[in-house]
Amino acid sequence: MRGLFIVLEGCDRAGKTTQTQLLQKFFHARDRKCELAKFPDRTTSLGITINSYLQGSQALSDQAIHLLFSANRWELIDSLESKVKNGVNLIVDRYAYSGAAFTSAKGLDIDWCKSCDKGLLKPDLVLFLDTSNKTMSKREDFGAEVYENLEFQSKVREQFHLLKDDSWKIINASGTIEEVQAEIQTHVLTLLNQDSYAPIQRN
């Protein structure tokens, strides 16, 4: 049986990294193979350029950085797909939805933003960690990266809500780490309990 392809999305500081790690433990406790991946993957040569942009040390036009983020997904998707085909459950911290949400929040056309990710692997489940604007304003631990400010993040959140489709589950991310994880596990268990999965699709 193939693995599941599960994506966690959300604004910055929503707790995605912690939750992906806990979810991996949940799979391992059930003797299931499970690996984590993260976009942007800052270790490739494209990823190094993306990292310089995010840290403010390299300027790029909104369109150029958007295409680099997308290319970073395209350069890694085949290897991720073969893992899933070989039975590895894959949990991915951000995906193409971040691409469309962050760039369209800058005012670019949302359909243009979505178009370059067309054909990527379709997730079995998207867990959207939703942080209300009120919770976000209490999280004062924003770092120094270019997108990490409240006004922009609340625009990003609105864009995420425009992008949701039937593979999405909205998770209230303002609860405790344990509460959020419990809600995530409920959705994942529903999928895990299926006798077989539909073939992997390309979006």
List contacts with ligand DGP (CB under 6 A).
12, 39-40, 54, 65-66, 69, 94, 98-99, 102-103, 145, 147
Nearer to ligand DGP, 81 or 148 (CB): 148
Q: Kindly state the smallest distance separating residue 14's Cβ from Na ion, in Å.
A: 8
**CA 144 to CA 149: how far, in whole Å?**
9
Applying CB under 5 A, does 12 fall inside the site for Na ion?
yes
Q: How far is the CB of 189 from ligand DGP (least distance, A)?
A: 26
Q: What is the DSSP string of 51-78?
A: HHHHTTSS---HHHHHHHHHHHHHHHHH
Shortest Cβ 79–ligand DGP spacing (Å):
18
**3-state secondary structure labels for all residues of 83-152:** HHHCCCEEEEECCHHHHHHHHHCCCCCHHHHHHCCCCCECCCEEEEEECCHHHHHHCCCCCCCCCCCHHH
Nearer to ligand DGP, 3 or 99 (CB): 99
Q: How far apart are the first and last CA of the chain?
A: 21
Q: How far is the CB of 16 from ligand DGP (least distance, A)?
A: 7
Question: Measured from the CB atom, is 142 or 197 closer to ligand DGP?
Answer: 142
- How many C-beta neighbours within 10 Å does residue 22 have? 18
Question: Whole-number minimum distance, CB 94 to ligand DGP, in Å?
Answer: 5
Contact 162, 97 (CB under 8 A): no
Taking CB within 5 to 8 Å according to partner kind, which of ligand DGP, Na ion, none is near residue 102?
Answer: ligand DGP
- Report if residue 63 touches Na ion, rule: CB under 5 A: no
The order of strands in the sheet holding 34-38 is: 34-38, 89-93, 5-10, 125-130, 168-172
* Complex with ligand DGP: residue 26 or 160, whichever CB lies closer: 160
Tell me: does residue 17 bind Na ion (CB under 5 A). yes
- Residue with smaller CB distance to ligand DGP, 49 or 103: 103
Residues at the contact surface with Na ion, assessed by CB under 5 A = 12, 16-17
